[in-house]
Amino acid sequence: MFQTIRDAWKIPDLRKKMLFTLLMLAVFRLGTFIPVPGLNSAALAELVSDGSSLFALMDSFSGGAFSNATIFAMSITPYINSSIILQLLTVAIPALERMSKEGEEGRKKIASWTRYGTIILALIQATGLYFGIKGAVENPGVLSFITIVVTFTAGTAFLMWLGEKITENGIGNGISMIIFAGIVSGIPSGVIGLFNNFKAGALNIWALIAIAVIAIAMVVFVVFINDAERRIPVQYAKRMVGRKMYGGQSTHIPIKVSMAGVIPIIFAMSIMAFPSTLMNLFGAPTGGFWLKVLNVLSPNSWFYIVMYVLLIIFFTYFYTAIQFNPIEIANNMKKNGGFVPGIRPGKPTSDFISRILSKITLTGALFLGVIAALPLIMGKFIGFQISIGGTSLLIMVGVALETVKQIESQMLMRHYKGFLE
């Protein structure tokens, strides 16, 4: 990876793109230190202290901007939610599905609707945040409400613009790079927290070594699974069209093990954190039934971990079923004269692909469950909450691998002379 970056740096055009990306990420990091007027950062830091809440995930994505009550406190999460909603609606609404297949023009329309959806969701989320942290507002009133809500929303809109500029003029996907930068910026504070606990006697040397070994093993495991795929062989029959012969080649259908990515983890985390987040917003209970509910829904309980893993498995199957349609693939193969060796075209082919997809999805779901639950289990046994969770790890590794692949492809394009020789 480092060799690829070093080689890309020697190419003037790619070096300019890399410098532009670094400059935009520096602007993002600068914005994470600009405070929101009239807001006390201590209240937001308290909301983040509970690792089960959605605020902890938002703080991780924003690189600490949420807990510091800065203009980028909401990070790019409204854009992620808007993209997921549009993606699900594209599958559910035939008109949107046709539009997504219209090429560049259709993608531009969907991208425009995603931006409008981001602003609407950002306004709703900012309004909810204002009422949730109203006690931290220095001078509550209409003016403070407008100032704080507009500032949060404007911060998200600016980050969305920043991400699109990185995608157009820089390296990699801009939104992913912003999330990646936010997560990576939180690693030093997490490492410092581990050593402080070690010095204070909360962790012994063996626990520290175990955390380091498991972290390295998880990264290796994520890299391995991220690129793992099952290839279904496909053979195309030869056919004559006029005087030309078409077909006859062999290819394959790649089915990735982690096809759903981090979406199931985000969905599962949102559902598990929603009750405790509501209770924290309206005042944490001090006793009775609701305190027991809050304890059961905390990440330190086995109930939370088990339900978390089960929800991840469910949403992995759900999201994979939306993304991958075996019937459509089998019909397209049949129309183009393609077939899986040993399997009849049509329904037998779709059934065959469905069986393989079900097995692969189970493997991917268990992988996501292990990656998401392992930091929680470690925190339960060592008594210390791991700052970098499974979602953050998956995003970091995925974005790093994808960015390196894009750099390699751009280097290949610039060195490939093709038919000019």
Give the CA distances from residue 337 to residues 7, 348, 350, in Å, rounded to whole numbers and listed in that order.
43, 15, 15
CA atoms within 13 A on the CB side of 2: 0
Q: How much is the pLDDT for 418?
A: 46
Q: 384 has which bridge partners?
A: none
Q: How much is the pLDDT for 198?
A: 74
Q: Sort 246 into a burial class: Cβ within 10 Å, 0-12 / 13-18 / 19+.
A: middle
Residue 225 backbone phi and psi in degrees, to 5: -70, -35
Instruction: List the one residue out of 228, 260, 208 whose CA is nearest residue 369.
Output: 260
What DSSP string runs through 232-268? EEEEE--EEETTEEE---EEEEEEETTTTTTHHHHHH
> Which residues, in sequence order, are CB contacts of 364 under 8 Å at separation 6+?
225, 256, 257, 258, 259, 260, 316, 320
At how many degrees (to 10) do helices 54-61 and 77-92 cross?
110
- Residue 160: how many CB atoms within 10 A of its CB? 22
pTM for this prediction: 0.74
pLDDT in tens, the chain (421 residues): 667 777 777 778 888 888 998 999 899 888 888 888 877 777 666 666 654 455 666 666 666 677 777 888 888 888 888 887 887 788 778 887 788 777 778 778 888 888 999 999 888 888 877 776 666 676 777 888 888 889 989 998 999 999 889 888 888 788 888 888 887 887 777 777 777 777 777 677 877 787 788 778 878 888 888 778 888 888 877 666 666 665 567 788 888 888 877 778 777 777 776 676 666 555 555 566 666 776 777 777 788 888 888 888 888 888 888 778 888 888 888 887 788 888 888 888 888 888 898 888 888 888 888 888 877 777 676 655 555 566 677 777 778 878 888 888 777 776 654 444 4
Please answer whether residues 179 and 76 qualify as being in contact, where contact means their C-beta atoms are separated by less than 8 angstroms: yes
Instruction: List the one residue out of 10, 11, 71, 76 whose CA is nearest residue 41.
Output: 71
Residue 318 backbone phi and psi in degrees, to 5: -65, -50
Task: Scan for tokens 């991958």, then name that residue.
Answer: 324
Rounded to whole angstroms, how far apart are CA atoms 43 and 21? Answer: 33
Please answer whether residues 202 and 383 qualify as being in contact, where contact means their C-beta atoms are separated by less than 8 angstroms: yes
Q: How much is the pLDDT for 119?
A: 92
Instruction: List the one residue out of 33, 332, 79, 300 whose CA is nearest residue 185.
Output: 33
What DSSP string runs through 80-105? HHHHHHHHHHHHH-HHHHHHHTS-HH
Q: 39 has which bridge partners?
A: 137
Instruction: List the one residue out of 50, 46, 53, 51 whose CA is nearest residue 67.
Output: 46
Q: How much is the pLDDT for 421?
A: 43
Q: How much is the pLDDT for 312?
A: 87
Instruction: List the one residue out of 30, 370, 24 whose CA is nearest residue 176.
Output: 24
Question: Domains in the chain and their CATH numbers?
Answer: 1-186 (1.10.3370.10), 189-387 (1.10.3370.10)
Please answer whether residues 20 and 170 qualify as being in contact, where contact means their C-beta atoms are separated by less than 8 angstroms: yes
Q: How much is the pLDDT for 420?
A: 44
